Chains A and B, each alone.
Chain A
């Protein structure tokens, strides 16, 4: 079967994400966009994962749980998990490690986590997009794999916070896939699978880029297997 996936969506927890991007709103719009699989991927935290999971209940949507981590080389990478609890714990560990300064919400935006009814549960103090983790990308990759997740460098073709801007090449590490925003691109990826996502920060952006995944079933194990096996077709790449 084919599933329409957008696994890089920012929620109201990201300072750069709109306050209108509550998990419940994301779930509503994702259904309007006929998506099958979605994940919230906030910067260096996954505290909106439980609300996403709850909001997806009684909908046809399959939720996955991601974090857009800032490695010590300062490129962004998606850490993708099947289980919201594992994602939350992993995100909390990353947040503890994050080297940053206190956020100034009136300048950079709020960093709030909520429940599935948009009630604010709390806010994070450290500016989530300003600093970096002390973990290099190869260290973080091992940590993600050990926790049962997928490690997918994000928007590798962008001019900032990407593998191309920070390194200029793709290291020979066992990435599960690479996220691209344009096609074709200049970096040599070898045989690593490609995906594309919206990286939405505002409601109208959800599902604007996506990928189609050919998978055995709607189960998250099969979805992970299909991503790793390169059964993905980025919306921006001619099929």
Chain B
């Protein structure tokens, strides 16, 4: 599935573009970063409300392609900078984690 679809089809705002990889194949929803680091598979998009720089470190270690920040959570400047450096996409939406997960699943099945 193309990362671009998250913006083009779901209408989520892209804050950072993943310039190295344009696709993802899995999704993972969690707000506990230790759970993400332990269980999220490579090549995923992460659906979360954890809008801070540490999420980028965890995404880097877990080969996550993009992060969807739910509930309108704002990405701080240092998070955006870290995501640019690591080329991990960030999207923002007012949807909650359940709604975003459902939409991503539909996108992957379409």
Q: A residues touching B (Cβ–Cβ < 8 Å)? A: 70, 72, 74, 99-101, 104, 107-108, 127, 129-132, 159-161
Given A74-B32, A131-B38, the answer on whether A101 and B54 have CB atoms closer than 8 Å is no
Extra contacts besides A131-B33, A131-B37 (10): CB < 8 Å? A70-B34, A99-B37, A99-B38, A100-B34, A100-B37, A101-B61, A107-B60, A107-B86, A130-B33, A160-B54
- Whether A104 lies near B37 (C-beta < 8 A) is no
* Residue on B nearest A108 in the bound complex, by CB: B57
Q: Which residues of B contact A107 (CB under 8 A)?
A: 57, 60, 86
Given A104-B60, A108-B57, the answer on whether A130 and B37 have CB atoms closer than 8 Å is yes
- Whether B33 lies near A74 (C-beta < 8 A) is yes
* B52 close to chain A: CB less than 8 A: yes
- The secondary-structure label for the interface of chain A is loop
Q: B residues touching A (Cβ–Cβ < 8 Å)? A: 32-34, 37-38, 50, 52, 54, 57-58, 60-62, 86
Q: Which residues of A contact B52 (CB under 8 A)?
A: 159-160
- Whether B32 lies near A130 (C-beta < 8 A) is no
How far does the alpha carbon of A100 sit from the alpha carbon of B33 in the complex, in Å? 10
Q: Which residues of A contact B58 (CB under 8 A)?
A: 130
Q: Which residues of A contact B57 (CB under 8 A)?
A: 107-108, 127, 129-130
CB distance from B107 to the nearest CB of A (A): 28
* Residue on B nearest A107 in the bound complex, by CB: B60
Q: Which residues of A contact B54 (CB under 8 A)?
A: 129-130, 160-161
CB distance from B56 to the nearest CB of A (A): 10
How far does the alpha carbon of A132 sit from the alpha carbon of B86 in the complex, in Å? 23
- Whether A104 lies near B61 (C-beta < 8 A) is yes
Sorted nearest first, the 8 A-B pairs with minimum C-beta distance are: A132-B34, A101-B61, A131-B34, A160-B52, A131-B37, A99-B38, A130-B37, A101-B37
